[in-house]
């Protein structure tokens, strides 16, 4: 089972995405960027196959988090998807240009789309 880190600060969204993904992936959930970064410093931290990052996070937004992860050699080419309520026409292009590999807007209306996007991202980087 592939491992996916999910960073989402909204409990309802965390529960929804967890319900959608937990049968397909081993999820490592975090409610903040700082918690994820602290976890990754541990010797026993598991290297995920993909990251799904909310953009509007407290303390450190998802774009900054993605850039910090990309600065780490071990995660430089790791697949990263922006999961965000930012759904204006230019938001997708802005997030892809910032360095994300994929984008999905909230609310998630089709569970299969989320799963397919993550599976495609993981397959591209193997």
Report how far Cα 118 is from the mean position of its chain's Cα atoms: 9
Residue-averaged pLDDT of the chain:
94
pLDDT in tens, 91-100: 999 999 999 9
Asked if 81 contacts 53 with a C-beta cutoff of 8 angstroms, the reply is: yes
Work out the burial of residue 2: count CB atoms within 10 Å of its CB; fewer than 13 is exposed, 13-18 middle, 19 or more buried: middle
Question: Average pLDDT of 110-126?
Answer: 93
**CATH number, position 73:** 3.40.50.2300
- pTM exceeding 0.85: yes
Rounded CA-CA distance 28/104 in Å is 19
Give residue 113's domain range.
3-124
Q: How many domains is the chain partitioned into structurally?
A: 1
């Amino acid at each position: 089972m592939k491992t996916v880190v999910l960073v989402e600060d909204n409990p309802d969204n965390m529960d929804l995405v967890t319900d959608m993904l937990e049968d397909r992936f081993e999820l490592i959930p975090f409610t903040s960027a700082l918690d994820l970064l602290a976890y990754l410093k541990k010797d026993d931290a598991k290297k995920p196959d993909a990251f799904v990052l909310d953009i509007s996070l407290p303390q450190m937004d998802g774009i900054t988090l993605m850039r910090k992860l990309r600065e780490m050699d071990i995660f430089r080419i790791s697949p990263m998807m922006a999961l965000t309520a930012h759904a204006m026409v230019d938001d997708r292009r802005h997030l892809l240009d910032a360095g994300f590999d994929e984008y999905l807007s909230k609310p998630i209306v089709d569970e299969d789309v989320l799963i397919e996007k993550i599976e495609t991202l993981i397959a591209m980087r193997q």
